[in-house]
Amino acid sequence: MHIQIAAVGKLKEKYLVMGIAEYAKRLGPYVKLTLTEVPDEKAPETMSPAEEAIVREREGERLLAQLKPDAHVVALALEGELWSSEDLADQLDKLATYGRSHVAFVIGGSTGLAPAVLKRAQQKLSFGRMTLPHQLMRLVLVEQVYRAVKINRGEPYHK
């Protein structure tokens, strides 16, 4: 299975880079993992709703350009479904079973995801009602993908 994590912005924090690298290494024997970063749109701290929409649209275009046509897209969004680790494992297992071997998780920037990205997604996933920094979300997501793989293989890790 090919898992792609497409996200807005470049990771700068060393602890996040190191954490993601550790889980990517652990995932190596099980899945092909691709981490795709697209540039975030330069924007002032305070924006009008119209300016925020423009930022989302531009970042969304960059994200969509990185997604293969055959990818099963899961958008991370506050309004998405709440899944447990077991639910994620089950979703990945079903996708693999039914020939959807390329799964792309999409993480927006600080203003969220563009409507076009949400429309492209087959599923929307929420990690809860709390807002998390989009950089931290990458680490949380890659850890959960690793956990899901271990659950599906019946191997120790998930507790």
- Residue ranges at the known binding site for S-adenosyl-L-methionine: 76, 108, 127-132
The C-alpha atoms of residue 158 and residue 149 are separated, in whole angstroms, by 10
Query: Between vectors from CA 18 to CA 12 and to CA 21, what angle results, nearest 5°?
Result: 110
| Residue 54, both tokens | 């423009």
User: What phi and psi, each to the nearest 5 degrees, are found at residue 125?
Assistant: -120, 135
Q: Which residues carry a binding-site annotation?
A: 76, 108, 127-132
Question: Which amino acid would we find at residue 96?
Answer: A
* Environment class of 60 (CB within 10 Å of its CB; exposed 0-12, middle 13-18, buried 19+): buried
Determine if residue 140 is left, alpha or beta; phi over 0 gives left, psi from -120 to 50 gives alpha, anything else beta: alpha
Instruction: Give the C-alpha distances (Å, rounded to integers) separating 132 from 1, 13, 33, 78, 90.
Output: 27, 15, 22, 10, 24
